[in-house]
Structure 1
């Protein structure tokens, strides 16, 4: 390398340093400091205004429901009925009055529970209002501890986020104590659907903004992440990670949060704020207290992400900065053109010729800087590339031939796999009892069988003896080829069980099948990730005695006459589960006009709709009620079309099987 004169690197660095020293360094530092100061000022104002706005938007609707719930609990009609629950006139009068409250509540629902009888009543707009209890509260059940904890408290009400195991809903519950003097008669109130509550009051599209709600103890009551919401606080305390303190760093940040909460509680309607690290980023947290609800409305703002500044003046400043940078760049470009690019352009002509394959080129005369060294390096490179090109071309040609041969082998293997799967599908369809069902039940049955892949883990069985039948569906763990292989084992185990126990005892068949499957797999060293359990539902029909006997393993038997719809539940454990299940027979009288349905969970769990939720039991029950009186072929078409319409563009999640039958 040349060691005399100014080198190319030195010339470039000199021009860049001069331009940076002239304007970029001081301008960038001053601009950054000004921008951060303005951002912080506007961020605090934005946090206060946003928090107060959220406080008011939550206070109005929730306070209205709270006031209505307090009136319902304090109604003399409510007290008189709970003091004399067996009086039908008082009971009728209460439910007639409560219906008016139900229509006024935001969720169109209310509940009431008695301390004396421990009966729990719940009505909403999804079903016709009823004066019959939904269930009886049990002090020994963990799911009912909210009631017994609430009636022991001193305060007149509490607000509790909880999942009702009986109603299968999660709501923000307003629990109001009903008193007659010092005597606690029960609880009454309403609930706000948690998903709707989060959507209306917590969800926001504004970047860098995280609204949440905490109670006086700091437990999170509303958050865009449902896993952080502390539920059933009426009966237990929140875990640390479900509190505001649990989301902050230990030490000064948690102390600052406690001080801000105390200040907000002391001055309701005022906003307290502090800085803390939340979700791994430094954020400004603003709090406002709602005394009526005993809630803090909290807004966390990431000042770096939130749009708290008016972009108009910022755009002007940016435009001026861009103009300054442009001037500097033009100056720098002129210097580089004269000092660097002009010599490089001469070298580029020679380099372009070499790029076209002409390695016998004349290079620029050497200079006493890095460009001269580069010119000499190009000459050496040209000779090396010319020698290596011929060798490389021969290697590429040989490698291309190897790749083509490997691709042909891979295509043959892929075709063999597809052919094998298609053949397996023919075998699986061959073992399904379609012909037997058609001969024995004819137009009095239909089957929807839709594997997720070419083959699947669902199948159905049918066996007839004289005027008696055994019909059922089975859902093996997995789908595709693994699920199909499991159906072979499951079918063999079921056939063995039916031979051993006969077809008249579905529960005994399930128990024997469970034992057989465990015996088959007990010596297999299977990974823990591979599931070998299966759900099943079996129904034995005795047409002579007009009797149906049902037993299930996590599969229930649905029925409908077009007006009502019901389900006979199966056992809670699957066959082959880690713990041995217990299965019992349920005897049902066959009635004309009743259609029975056995379905695997693939239908109920199929994602669809606007939000991608599962089809669900409620929508399935409504579908059965609407079509139960149709001929079976029309029912099959209606169910298939309803599922396809709901599924839309979502992929099929699981294998789907629905087997339906009726007897006139």
Structure 2
């Protein structure tokens, strides 16, 4: 049993609620302030760290550039490049170059003789100064040298993979000139892997550094599997996982990153910071541009892991705030009890007396405050309750009698409506040609007619003549009573069309039925919400010629012997469609052992299965193949069982009609079926 709080409990609960309402905004505001401070310091921290990392990158490159310039401008280097075969000049060059080699970052240097285009490379393992290979202007991989020599700049810095040396390095290329004449290139190199590893290696918690090129291709990353090593020489070799954009799922955040990268490229020295989610985790991303290398340094900061703002002082402050608010609440509760709750206890006892049925006022009305006014109001209420109690039973009796009469009238109206619908069902069943089918086809037909409601918009037709018989299925727009009314009109139109056109030309019948329905139900005079179209499939069976002629409007004919299956498709437009169609006949030879199937879309569209999809043509055709050799009554039971099992708990969506017929009941040797041949109706 639930415990109901009294006024004392509610007042205490109200005080606690006021306490929470005061505490929660204070905590939220304080938390927002702390977060804003954290973000401010985090942004400054990330930007300063990015600038520091950029300096760490540019410092060794600047040192390498200064050494390379001295090396290229050395008199000994220029003298040797003028006469590389001179032993004395070679010896002096080797001695001086060895000193430069020991100062270069990777203990290696290179020179290129512009006259012979010989490429020299020396490191700590080199024993003699011999050309490693000769540059070729026709080689695409050597084009960098010729473009460098043709440029007006005195040096350039590039990252490339030397195909002969099989080394990927950061090369500092300085032109060697003597009296304005180009003698070649010289310079040092930094091992790219060691250089990048020293840059991205950091012990700062929550910080991750990576280097990308202007396209976003990763050049340095803590996860070596994501590096685009092949993209150093050809950016097209990088896949999507080797780009920084692949770590960001949100398209707007990727666009913000692209704009930030473009902004820092336009203004080197600036740092841009944006909020992103990398691999699903929120990060503060800062990016800066290194124009000497044409690289961008990207730093991501996890503000939860980085020591931005210490939070240990927050909880003592929160505890002090709670203590102050708790003390104020206790003082307020004591005052409320003395001034309000104690007087109201007496008022509560008096109110309970009134609730028990004693309406004589025994309330404290001598007070001249809100409690006194409340007591006077209770006294007035007691008199009013006594008056209303006397009249209540009479009013309840009168209302009960009125409700009983209304329920009786509703039950009678409902019974009349049910009787009318049942009578309409009897009338609709009377237009179905069951007797004619049993008389002419005997056991060579089977029908499943299943309206969604008691009456529906589906029916089937049969008309026998001296030369054959016409059989078909009609699906009128709508279901229930409106659909049943449409079936009566459609049956009359079909009978009139048969009387005019005969039964042996299904296409002519469809065209005539379409014309008459448009004449009786002009589209311009009907509301747009009312549909008057009909789906019809008609088959003329001429047993003497062993020929079947079919024409359909959105209804198809299936034929099968269990091994083969033929599918004659009806026209894609229904009768009464706003765009009028011309319907044509399709012919099919009759063979023993073949069964022929017509069904409305209620069967094919019935929702069911795991996902509530329609039954579908494929499932229907598979069911035909599996049941075509069985007796018709067994087939009908199998079709109905399959539909019910597929439908499961789903409600019936539309009226369902399935008509199966054949030329004979027993088949001993099926005959292969020829494909249908179209002909004009």
Provide the TM-score with structure 1 as the length reference: 0.55
Structure 1 equivalent of residue 356 of structure 2: 356
- Do the aligned residues in 2 keep the contact of 1:12 with 1:340 (CA within 8 Å)? no
Cα 1:544–1:22 change in 2 (3 A) is closer
> Any residues of structure 2 matched to 1:212-611 within 5 Å, and which?
258-260=255-257, 336-522=336-522, 525-611=525-611
Q: Report the secondary structure of 1:528's partner residue.
A: coil
Work out the CA distance in 2 between the residues paired with 1:286 and 1:507. 72
Work out the CA distance in 1 between the residues paired with 2:537 and 2:14. 83
- In the TM superposition, what is the alpha-carbon distance from 1:260 to its structure 2 partner? 3.5
Cα 1:16–1:643 change in 2 (3 A) is closer
- In the TM superposition, what is the alpha-carbon distance from 1:385 to its structure 2 partner? 2.9
Work out the CA distance in 1 between the residues paired with 2:353 and 2:326. 34
- In the TM superposition, what is the alpha-carbon distance from 1:555 to its structure 2 partner? 0.5
- In the TM superposition, what is the alpha-carbon distance from 1:411 to its structure 2 partner? 0.8
Work out the CA distance in 1 between the residues paired with 2:528 and 2:284. 47
Structure 2 equivalent of residue 65 of structure 1: none
Cα 1:274–1:523 change in 2 (3 A) is same
- In the TM superposition, what is the alpha-carbon distance from 1:392 to its structure 2 partner? 4.5
- In the TM superposition, what is the alpha-carbon distance from 1:615 to its structure 2 partner? 0.7
- Do the aligned residues in 2 keep the contact of 1:473 with 1:600 (CA within 8 Å)? yes
Q: Report the secondary structure of 1:659's partner residue.
A: strand
Structure 2 equivalent of residue 660 of structure 1: 660
- In the TM superposition, what is the alpha-carbon distance from 1:569 to its structure 2 partner? 0.9
Q: Report the secondary structure of 2:636's partner residue.
A: helix
Cα 1:527–1:328 change in 2 (3 A) is farther
Q: Report the secondary structure of 2:578's partner residue.
A: coil
- In the TM superposition, what is the alpha-carbon distance from 1:14 to its structure 2 partner? 12
- In the TM superposition, what is the alpha-carbon distance from 1:333 to its structure 2 partner? 5.3
> Any residues of structure 2 matched to 1:152-231 within 5 Å, and which?
none
- Do the aligned residues in 2 keep the contact of 1:462 with 1:469 (CA within 8 Å)? yes
- Do the aligned residues in 1 keep the contact of 2:16 with 2:329 (CA within 8 Å)? no
Structure 1 equivalent of residue 51 of structure 2: none
Post-superposition Cα deviations, 1:362-395, rounded to whole Å, max 9, x if no partner, equal 0124334311211111112222333344344433
Work out the CA distance in 2 between the residues paired with 1:408 and 1:464. 51
Number of residue pairs the alignment of both structures matches: 407
Work out the CA distance in 2 between the residues paired with 1:255 and 1:434. 67
Work out the CA distance in 1 between the residues paired with 2:506 and 2:556. 13
Post-superposition Cα deviations, 1:324-352, rounded to whole Å, max 9, x if no partner, equal 89998777655544443332222122222
Cα 1:564–1:320 change in 2 (3 A) is farther
Work out the CA distance in 1 between the residues paired with 2:495 and 2:18. 89
Q: Report the secondary structure of 1:588's partner residue.
A: strand
Post-superposition Cα deviations, 1:123-169, rounded to whole Å, max 9, x if no partner, equal xxxxxxxxxxxxxxxxxxxxxxxxxxxxxxxxxxxxxxxxxxxxxxx
Work out the CA distance in 1 between the residues paired with 2:434 and 2:580. 32
Structure 2 equivalent of residue 307 of structure 1: none
> Any residues of structure 2 matched to 1:73-152 within 5 Å, and which?
none
Structure 1 equivalent of residue 176 of structure 2: none
Which structure has the bigger radius of gyration?
2
- Do the aligned residues in 1 keep the contact of 2:15 with 2:329 (CA within 8 Å)? no
Cα 1:502–1:412 change in 2 (3 A) is same
Work out the CA distance in 1 between the residues paired with 2:610 and 2:39. 38
Work out the CA distance in 2 between the residues paired with 1:628 and 1:402. 62
- Do the aligned residues in 1 keep the contact of 2:467 with 2:544 (CA within 8 Å)? yes
- In the TM superposition, what is the alpha-carbon distance from 1:663 to its structure 2 partner? 1.5
Structure 1 equivalent of residue 138 of structure 2: none
Post-superposition Cα deviations, 1:432-465, rounded to whole Å, max 9, x if no partner, equal 1112112211222111111111111000000111
Cα 1:20–1:548 change in 2 (3 A) is closer
- In the TM superposition, what is the alpha-carbon distance from 1:622 to its structure 2 partner? 0.9
Structure 1 stretch displaced more, 329-338 or 613-622? 329-338
The yes-or-no answer on 1:627 pairing with 2:663 is no
Work out the CA distance in 1 between the residues paired with 2:34 and 2:662. 79
Structure 2: 5+ residue runs without aligned partners?
1-7, 42-214, 216-249, 264-272, 286-311, 665-681
Structure 1 stretch displaced more, 359-368 or 450-459? 359-368
- Do the aligned residues in 2 keep the contact of 1:19 with 1:328 (CA within 8 Å)? no
- Do the aligned residues in 2 keep the contact of 1:366 with 1:373 (CA within 8 Å)? no
